[in-house]
Chain A
Amino acid sequence: MTQTTSFPLHDIATAPDTATAPRRAWRPGLLPWLAGPAWCCAAFVTWFWPDADDFPATDSLAIACAIIGIVLVPVALLPRFSAKAPWMIALALGLAAWEGVQAKLLLLPRPFFGTPQDLLDVFVTDWRKLGDSLLHSLGLLAVGYITGAVLGVVIGVGLGRSARFRYWVQPIIRLVGPLPPVALLPLAFVIIPSSWAASEALMTLASAFPVIVLTWSGISAVDPAYYDVARTMGARDRFLVLRVALPAAAPQIFVGLFMGLGMSFAMLVVAEMLGVKSGLGFYMQWAQGWAAYPNMYAALVVMSLMCTGLITILFRIRDRILGWQKDGLKW
């Protein structure tokens, strides 16, 4: 599962058990108890140090930090919090530093570099539109990706199992597959009247290719003895494909599914920026047009949460299905 390293691993420190890494005995000590005070510190800086300009939502930010700080004090009692405490402290310190550098001292050029309260203000005032964009993006992504994934597995199985299918389909795959789907975007928007349908088609294409290739290679690599065992027990093709070939190739198929998901993220943003008039990409484009940089940052945050959330879901599914494997990367 090497390709997964291309995704941000910001969550790794909070993963419940990183079984593969040698575990150093973790002495919690004082650290968990410092998380609450650290957040209260951030609240203190925000509240009492006067802003350099008239920023919105400074009060809300201070109150939010204070609430987090107070909540974290009893949370420190939970044993499983101790592993997360360093991160919570670092986040509070980082926030306080950002607040000091930008909101209080205004050291960086302004519209491009926002303040924490700017960002918070966007979430407070514009959450409805952000949420709406998120739902649109998710909808667009889901249809394209799921279609691409299913098609990819079906075509990959066909390529791996049938010589005649391979004869006709392999040349097409070789010609079309490596083409970056973005290159087809102008054409697609012309040929397909609805920009939504055009985007879905491209997203399907983008996610299908890696799934096809990896399913195909996974199916071709299945030990023929696995088929022999089932065949001597009277198994027909249906069983051989669904209950032997697919499970045996599943580790590879999941690699393809992860790569396809990454491809469809890229396709999603491009499609929303260039054609579809909704979604997070469109929101970002719009924010940039109005020089509303905090809105752009907010959309970026939402998008990143969406992507990492979807990757996490796919990892959960993989862990459930591939629980039989000796080891595997823990997301």
Chain B
Amino acid sequence: MVNATTPALGILLDDVSHGYDIGGRFTPVLENVNLNIAPGEFIALLGPSGCGKSTLLRLVAGLETPRAGRMLADSAPITGPGPDRIVMFQDPTLYPWRTVRANVALSQDISGRVDRAAVDAAITMVGLQGFENAWPHQLSGGMAQRAALARALVNNPRLLILDEPLGKLDSLTRLTMQTELLRLWQDRGFTVIMVTHDVEEALLLATRVITFSARPASVVSDITIDLPYHRHRDDPHLLALRRDILVQLGHSADW
């Protein structure tokens, strides 16, 4: 996990709209989403539950094609999934028939480029050493999520797409993993798009915090956080931003 050579990926979403047929009726989920993500940015996405954040990530990953709009990765259209855009899904979705090590090594199995040292390093990074040979059903929910994070990180992605990656962790592990994530991003310089429900987490980690409206989602605010790391959660600037964002998400201002 030392070769921080792969350049980061930039993403451009141009008037992207998407929707699903639910019960025979078309339901719009994303409406005219415009986003320009520069290589190496750390983007946090916030929005009410069910607004379409996971859907947006699936589009960027190339798992689905949008109904309308243009999506570019480094000025090439996104037509399908690619190993340079690694997704960590909301559920860990580890393969139950693979051990933790084999799960983390999944991308290497697919590409055929085996690098055991990288696998071991990723496992150690998420604190799962000693559980390499465990089956997924023998892990706790948080451990499974950490294994999924290790699986996403193992092969130097150019863009890391994270869907509430730390959602199931206890607050202490969460802090450690936030620090780890930040360190990895600074070391390797990939682009990160991370969905989170935790406004504080977004403000501590991201270079840009983007807030979505309720479904159909569109961008309501796009705030660049121009503070150096390590940020302090009691920083008055962050506290003010936090209040603003919570108001945008629908909380009353006098909270």
Contacts and interface: CB of A to CB of B under 8 A. Distances in A.
Interface of A: 223, 225-226, 228-235, 239, 243-244, 247-248, 250, 322, 324-326
B63 A231 contact: yes
Most chain A CB within 10 A, of B81, B89, B99, is at B81
A85 to B, nearest CB: 35
Contacts of A230: 106, 110
Most chain A CB within 10 A, of B85, B87, B110, is at B110
A262 B57 CA distance: 48
Nearest to B82: A234
Interface of B: 58, 61-63, 80-83, 85-87, 89, 91, 93, 95-99, 106-107, 109-111, 135-137, 155
B81 A232 contact: yes
Contact of B85 (A232, A239, A322): A232
Contacts of B109: 239, 243
A322 B82 CA distance: 31
Given A232-B63, A233-B106, 7 more contacts: A228-B63, A231-B81, A232-B81, A232-B87, A233-B107, A233-B110, A326-B137
B111 A234 contact: yes
Nearest to B108: A233
Given A233-B83, A234-B81, A326-B137, A226 B110 contact: no
B39 to A, nearest CB: 19
By secondary structure, the A interface counts as helix
Contacts of A231: 63, 80-81
A229 B93 contact: yes
Contact of A324 (B86, B93, B96): B96
B83 A248 contact: no
A225 B93 contact: yes
Contacts of A223: 93
A228 B89 CA distance: 9
Contact of B97 (A225, A229, A247, A326): A247
Given A232-B81, A234-B81, A326-B137, A226 B89 contact: no
B97 A233 contact: no
B130 to A, nearest CB: 18
B110 A234 contact: yes
Contacts of B80: 231
A230 B94 CA distance: 11
A226 B63 contact: no
A234 B63 CA distance: 11
Contact of B95 (A232, A247, A322, A325): A247
A232 B63 CA distance: 7
A243 B112 CA distance: 13
A225 B96 CA distance: 13
A295 to B, nearest CB: 47
19 contacts: A225-B89, A228-B87, A228-B93, A230-B110, A231-B80, A231-B81, A232-B86, A232-B87, A233-B86, A233-B107, A233-B110, A234-B82, A234-B107, A235-B110, A239-B109, A239-B110, A322-B97, A324-B96, A324-B136
Nearest to A239: B110
A232 B89 CA distance: 11
7 smallest beta-carbon distances between A and B, as pairs = A234-B83, A233-B107, A247-B97, A225-B93, A232-B87, A232-B81, A231-B81
A324 B94 CA distance: 12
A255 to B, nearest CB: 16
A229 B155 CA distance: 14
Contacts of A232: 61-63, 81-83, 85-87
A228 B99 CA distance: 19
A172 to B, nearest CB: 31
B81 to A, nearest CB: 5
Nearest to B138: A326
A200 B183 CA distance: 64
A243 B87 CA distance: 19
Contacts of B58: 228
Contacts of A226: 93, 95
A272 to B, nearest CB: 38
Nearest to B61: A232
Nearest to A243: B109
A231 to B, nearest CB: 5
A206 to B, nearest CB: 29
A234 B108 CA distance: 10
A327 to B, nearest CB: 10
